[in-house]
Structure 1
Amino acid sequence: MTARTEDGLRTTGLTRSFGGVRAVDGATVAFRNGEINALIGPNGSGKTTFFNCVTGMIRPDAGTVTYRGRAITGRPPHRIARAGIGRTFQLCRVFPRMTVLENMLVAVRRTRPRELLAGARDPRDVEKARRLLVRVGIDHLERVEAGNLSYGQQKLLELAAVLMGDPETVMLDEPAGGVNPALIGRIGALIRELNAEGTTFLVVEHNMDLVMSLSHHVVVFDRGRPIAEGPPDVVRNDPRVLEAYLGV
């Protein structure tokens, strides 16, 4: 698959401040369409704020976000999702008192939670949800309340729920955080499989072994802006990265 950066996610001069702190500082960066991109950097470098600006969770103070050549700056999250971008969160967002299957059906947004609990279910959505649960390996838990899952299983559920929307690009915020090594391996394998089928990924992650083995293209943030980018082997040896990220 040939990556076409101009068709992917791009920011120009993206800026967001909180009080006197500029969390994202004029960030101009393009992520490669059709590939697995990683966004790394030390704690406090602005990665999650950048994610939140892109996905409409917060409005940037300045700058633009474009996706497939169209401006999406400041759109609310549901419109970002309709544009083809799905995302997970650093801390899992599941409905703990709903079953795994119910969480999947709510993600489609055609059925409200109250209607779902009353038994209103589209058979096509149920079939799709079950197919995705098989894919991520938690189909045997479909009747279990999400709050009773392990944290790693909740991560798999959150990813499966995002896939219910058929996103072209998936943004993952620390998918390996708090997850045991076996499930980290499963998550990495899923990302590779989905990417081979055409899904673009942008992954924020602190697990450098996962990042370097998984990614095609790595962008490094420090103090709210990109300081280096390129293939993993190049970024790993960049002096700016060693100074900012590894403290060398």
Structure 2
Amino acid sequence: MRKPYHNDPETYGDFIHEQEAFNEEVLDLHQRGFRITTHGNGDRAIGSILDAYEQALTKSPRKDHKHRIEHVQSGTTEDIARMAKLQVAGSFFINHVYYWGDRHEKIFLGPERGRRISPLAEAVDYNLLFTLHSDCPITPISPLFSVWAAVNRITREGKVLGPEQRIDVITALKAMTIYGSELVFDEDNTGSIEIGKNADFAVLGEDPTEVEPIKIKDIEVESTFIDGKAVYGKESVLVD
């Protein structure tokens, strides 16, 4: 990190890769046409990733590359703005807010940095393409839980962590659907319910845009369809 751990002023964390070698690896993959995704939790690590991406894009410009940073846990406002400038997408580990938000605020990052982990509202403000994820098996897969976490930002201890970084339900749902399809260049086939697209969708017991936000994670999934065929659900769900 750029500043030390809250509970250990002598520790900043370590890089996994030396910057020069990392730059060259990213440039090689970029020039070979890959969509690159790199894990980055600490803000200094995120800056390092952006340095490598920027060098690659400067030496070998490419539109719609959709390179990505995975987690973006402690990205600063400046990092988010830089991601937007370089058109780097983000995949936010939003479940982190619930499972470890209290510990980050009290132990690892402190109150100021801890409250802004997974800064989704800033991602929206900067028009960043982003998705949400559970980092399974670190936390269980549950798209509705991730939507709930993004909308409420409630920790295990019941605190709202960084309420200014909450996002609305529609945006959170898009981050679990159409934004993900855009990120993998598949928005013409998946990500929304439209004529001509794959009939992959879920039938929910309640409308997540209508229920109280705190209840989103408890909405029942009544049925799931893939390619128009029911692969899970109640027999009472009929398809015309």
- TM-score, length basis structure 2: 0.31
Identify the structure with the greater strand proportion: 1
Normalising to structure 1: TM-score of the pair? 0.31
